[in-house]
Amino acid sequence: MPNYINPAVILHSLDFAESDKLVTFFTRDFGKLKGVAKGAKRSRKRFGSGLEPLTYCTISFFEKESAQLVRLDHCAIVESYSHIHDDVLKVGYASYLGELIREMVAEREANRELFKLLTTFLSLINEPFFREEFIRIFELRLLALAGYQPELSRCVICRKAVNGNREHQFSERKGGLICFECFKGSREYPTLSGGTIKMLQRAQTIELTKVKRLFFSPQACEESRKVLPHFIESRIEKPLKSLRFIEHLGESKGVKYTNKCLK
C-alpha cells in the first residue's frame, strides 16, 4: 500500500459512519481525490481542524489496491485562510471556488497549474484588498485550464478580430463574442462594452503575482458578472449552489458587489 504526502486543499468533508469523515480534496500532484479519514471525528491529534473545507494542508494518505477511496492518515494545516470566515460574502466566494473545482475537474487528473490557481485565489480572498473582479479572473483562468476558454479575441460567427472600441454581445451557446455586424442590433445576448472586453482579455493572460494590480471599472464588474458565471453553468450543465448563495446575499443584504470593485 503506497503512502503519499502531498499539499492539498480540502474541498468537501462529510460525517461518515460513526466516527469517520468522507473527504474530497484537491492535491498538487495527484489531482482531485476522495478518501475516508478513519476516526476523524475523534482524533484531534491526527487531523486537528485540518479537514474543514477550504483549508490548505499537507495530507498523508495511502491507497488500497482496487479501492476507489484512498485512506487519509494524517493532516497538518499550512494555511486556514482565517480572515475569509470574518465575512459571509467571502465565505460564499471561497465556497464558489471550491465548488467549481469539484464540478469542473475530473478525479485523479493532476494539474499543478490549477492547484496554484486555487491556492493563489483563496489567499487573495483572505486579503483585506479583495475585490470581486478577482473572482472573474479565477473563472477565466479555470475555464482555460478546463478546456472551455471563451473566445474573446474574434467574433464567433464571422471570425473578424474584435474591435476593442465597440460593444459586442456574448453568446453562451457559441462560446464567445459576436460583433456588431453579426448581431445586427438585436438584444438576444448580454452586451460587453469595449472596455470590459479589454479587461477580460487582460485577465486571461496576466501573471498571477500581478492580479491585484488589475482594476475593473464598475461597468466591467457588472457586465462580466452577468456573463461569466452563467457561461460556466451552461458548460457544466448544472446550477451552482454557492453562486445562488452569493446572489442571494447580494440581494438580501443590499450588498452591491460593485462597492467591492470600487475599493
Q: Does 249 bind Zn ion (CB under 5 A)?
A: no
Distances (CA, A) of 64 to 68, 69, 120, 144, 256: 8, 8, 32, 34, 49
Q: Which stretch binds Zn ion (CB under 5 A): 37-45, 64-72, 93-101, 182-190?
A: 182-190
| Dist. CA 157–CA 177, nearest whole Å | 9
Which residue lies nearer to Zn ion by CB, 12 or 154? Answer: 154
Cβ atoms of 105 and 26 within 8 Å: the answer is yes
Subset of 121-180 contacting Zn ion (CB under 5 A): 155, 157-158, 179
| Dist. CA 176–CA 5, nearest whole Å | 41
In angstroms, give the least distance from the CB of 174 to Zn ion: 11
Which residue lies nearer to Zn ion by CB, 109 or 181? Answer: 181
Which of 182, 208, 249, 255 forms a contact with Zn ion (CB under 5 A)? 182
In angstroms, give the least distance from the CB of 184 to Zn ion: 10
Q: Is 261 helix (H, G, I), strand (E, B) or coil?
A: helix
Lookup: cell for 138: 479565477
Q: Does 208 bind Zn ion (CB under 5 A)?
A: no
In angstroms, give the least distance from the CB of 178 to Zn ion: 6
Helix (H) or strand (E) holding 211: none
Q: Is 14 helix (H, G, I), strand (E, B) or coil?
A: strand
Q: Which residues bind Zn ion (CB under 5 A)?
A: 155, 157-158, 179, 182
